[in-house]
Structure 1
Amino acid sequence: MFLLRLKWLFALGFVARWLSITDARITNVVLFGDSYTDQSRAHSISNGTYPGKDYQEVYPPADTAADGGFQWPFYLGLYGNYTIWNYAVGGAVCSNTLTPLLGVPDVSSGQYAWFVQDHVAHNGTAHQRLLLDPASFVVVMWVGTNDIGIGNFVTNDQAEDVALPDVADCQLNTLRALHALGARRFVLNSLIPLQLTKLYSNSSDPTIYYPSPHNGTAWHRSMYNLVHSLNRMLGDGVRTLNEEWRGDGRVDWFDTYGFFEEMYDNPTQYFNGSIPANVTDHCHQCPDPDDWRQCGIGDCTLEERDSYMWWDELHPSEQTGRNLAAEMHKKILGESQY
């Protein structure tokens, strides 16, 4: 009886510690990812102004994000009155060692190092101290589109010794590394239904992201398989981490795939520009897939933008981002069904 009571009290201790974390007011959101999340870091790197400590620039007005305007973390900051620490970089993968693409800072090392630079004090020793209160922030990770996309799995260009579970392990191990630094609240996003984008549709037409001939049907089927397989591995990994940490921190799974399907299937509830909602075409046009300089000719108007789910052949629109930000805010509050 004494041992049973001891186990019960031990379990209550974990519950109490977790409740103290989840009940605290989240004031900061830390983001890792690729162009679906990046607000300006890729532009800064390409312009030769490498982001330094406490870098917080948001495009526009100086430029635009990959969605053609403000990226979704900007709106998340507004909806939840959060301070946003966005380390995502357009073109990034989880690990340049596993699935190299453009060589920009990856999630597991380059973006992780930025977080350490901003929020971890070590005073030149091995003793590290997290400067953020673990109860005050949540880490959101959303990466994988480039890992399985062109130049990697969908085009069979991944290294012979790299398999899909390696990509999943990279994300999960990065969460472990952040947990070791002291982070305790995490949201891991699934991949979206990439087969719905123009780039990975059934069409074999050349696109600005891949102007060479290709088998659109094969890509479409392969992408469906890759997305579902990686999402299954990541979802299983989330359960593993929560069991591993036994209440000392938690990862929530955000079903981005399901939320994008919801927008796709019920467009009038989410898209409200000056024309009927459009979830199959995209706003930003590149008439000649071999010439980036022509991109923008034939774009939808500013008044029409909020009618589109997609900005271009691969990236969600700004309105899609607003919807995502609103739902992510619910997720952080524990009120989202995704």
Structure 2
Amino acid sequence: MPWYTLCILLLAIGLSDVGGKEIKHVVLFGDSFTDQSRSHSISNGTFPGKDYQEVFPPADTAADGGVQWPWYLGLYGNYTIWNYAVGGAVCNNNLTPLFDVPDVLNGQPDWFIQDHITSNGTSHQKLHLDPDEFVVVLWIGTNDVGINSFVTDDQKANTSLVDLAECQMDTLKRMRSLGARRFILNSLIPLQLTRLYSNRSDLVIHWPEEHDGPVWHKRMFNLVNSLNGLLRSGVQSLNEQWASRSGGYVEYFDSYAFFEEVYRHPDVYFNGSVPANVTGWCHQCPDPLDFHFCGIGDCTEAERDSYMWWDELHPSEQTGRNVAMELFKKIKGVSRF
């Protein structure tokens, strides 16, 4: 979309990064909302190695049905993107184990170490990125509070939302111990707006079983807002601690408020060939009991940019473009979220 890219590039020319040096690299940790291909690499047996940078498509598609938002963020800001997110990931597999893929606290930072740090854990440890030239973006939590976990009462005993929030703070602390100094923590989105967590109870491909939709809907609203409140408080506490030490600062990106803005004003954000649609989804699975039928009745290529959601849980590629634009503005210090 030329008008979209042009606006972003013009904005980039007119702004300088807040806090000193210009950002050149963005380091990402998260789940399928951010993953560009690592989960596919793992499942195919070609476990991502050093400097892994594959982006879907053309070989496949990301969870948004096309190109994931980090690619657009790299385009808009002329950043090198180091994306360590994995579809299905949680913050800590010891708290909310789901698919046993590399988690945000331990497994994903290990890839960062492999790519950017030598002599890790020794007196000769060296970070090969300038701390003032990269920002770490953390976006996790959807799987932690979702199906097979909190919303279905399947979380491990003695695990609370406080533990989930502390895990995210611990991840930021770990990255700081490795030399990172600039961070953005994304809140959870309003998951109750997705089809999976709506107040409807009919079967869906992500949960082809009986369930009480209205109960899930109310529970997810409370889970997301409660965890986001804990995350915001945690960020404030970290910034207070780090202000008196050797530096480090965390920006809180209010993904929840941003997604609500997109939901309420869709005509500003969607420009496909049909009217903007924030309640339906593009990728159809006519038989929720058989994923082989998925794709029948999908929206057309021309219609895709009209949809907020790709499927019953994941944002669309167009929503991702909007996320990338707003995170670009966040890095530049001009986002109202």
Q: How much has 1:323 moved relative to structure 2?
A: 0.4
Q: How much has 1:98 moved relative to structure 2?
A: 0.4
Name the SS of the counterpart of 2:143 in structure 1: coil
Partner AA of 2:303 in structure 1: E
The TM-score with structure 2 as length reference comes to: 0.93
2:53 and 2:267 map into 1 onto residues whose CA distance is 34
Map of 1:283 onto structure 2: 282
Change (3 A) 1:160 1:125: same
RMSD: 1.3
Map of 2:326 onto structure 1: 327
Map of 2:297 onto structure 1: 298
2:279 and 2:121 map into 1 onto residues whose CA distance is 53
Confirm or deny: 8 A CA contact 1:40 1:58 kept in the other structure.
yes
Confirm or deny: 8 A CA contact 1:21 1:134 kept in the other structure.
no
The TM-score with structure 1 as length reference comes to: 0.93
Name the SS of the counterpart of 1:309 in structure 2: coil
1:279 and 1:127 map into 2 onto residues whose CA distance is 52
Q: Choose the corresponding residue for 1:213, options 210, 214, 234.
A: 210
Name the SS of the counterpart of 1:140 in structure 2: strand
Map of 2:272 onto structure 1: 273
Q: Percent identity?
A: 67
Q: How much has 1:124 moved relative to structure 2?
A: 8.1
Map of 2:103 onto structure 1: 106
Map of 1:260 onto structure 2: 259
1:171 and 1:289 map into 2 onto residues whose CA distance is 33
Q: Choose the corresponding residue for 1:160, options 157, 160, 174.
A: 157
1:299 and 1:21 map into 2 onto residues whose CA distance is 42
Q: How much has 1:143 moved relative to structure 2?
A: 0.1
Partner AA of 2:153 in structure 1: N
1:190 matches 2:187 = yes
1:286 and 1:270 map into 2 onto residues whose CA distance is 26
1:123 and 1:177 map into 2 onto residues whose CA distance is 12
1:251 matches 2:250 = yes
Q: How much has 1:128 moved relative to structure 2?
A: 1.5
Deviations 1:247-305 (A, max 9, x none): 61100000000000000000000000000000000000000011111100000000000
Q: How much has 1:21 moved relative to structure 2?
A: 8.0
Map of 1:121 onto structure 2: 118
Map of 1:309 onto structure 2: 308
Q: What pairs up with 1:6-17 in 2 under 5 angstroms? A: none
Map of 1:57 onto structure 2: 54
Q: How much has 1:127 moved relative to structure 2?
A: 3.4
Q: Which runs of 5+ in 1 are unaligned?
A: 1-19
Partner AA of 1:303 in structure 2: A
Q: How much has 1:125 moved relative to structure 2?
A: 3.9
2:19 and 2:98 map into 1 onto residues whose CA distance is 37
Map of 2:173 onto structure 1: 176
Q: How much has 1:122 moved relative to structure 2?
A: 0.5
Partner AA of 1:199 in structure 2: L
Give the structure with higher Rg (CA). 1
Partner AA of 2:271 in structure 1: N
2:290 and 2:138 map into 1 onto residues whose CA distance is 33
Confirm or deny: 8 A CA contact 2:18 2:333 kept in the other structure.
no
Partner AA of 2:260 in structure 1: E
1:123 and 1:147 map into 2 onto residues whose CA distance is 29
Map of 1:32 onto structure 2: 29
| Runs (4+) off by over 2 Å | 123-127
Confirm or deny: 8 A CA contact 1:21 1:135 kept in the other structure.
no
1:198 and 1:73 map into 2 onto residues whose CA distance is 24
1:66 matches 2:83 = no
Confirm or deny: 8 A CA contact 1:309 1:316 kept in the other structure.
yes
Name the SS of the counterpart of 2:81 in structure 1: strand
Q: Which moved more, 1:240-249 or 1:137-146?
A: 240-249
Partner AA of 2:180 in structure 1: A
Deviations 1:18-49 (A, max 9, x none): xx982211000000000000000001111110
2:191 and 2:35 map into 1 onto residues whose CA distance is 18
Confirm or deny: 8 A CA contact 1:34 1:142 kept in the other structure.
yes
Q: Which runs of 5+ in 2 are unaligned?
A: 1-16
Name the SS of the counterpart of 1:230 in structure 2: helix
Partner AA of 1:314 in structure 2: L
1:187 and 1:125 map into 2 onto residues whose CA distance is 28
Q: How much has 1:223 moved relative to structure 2?
A: 0.2
Partner AA of 1:243 in structure 2: E
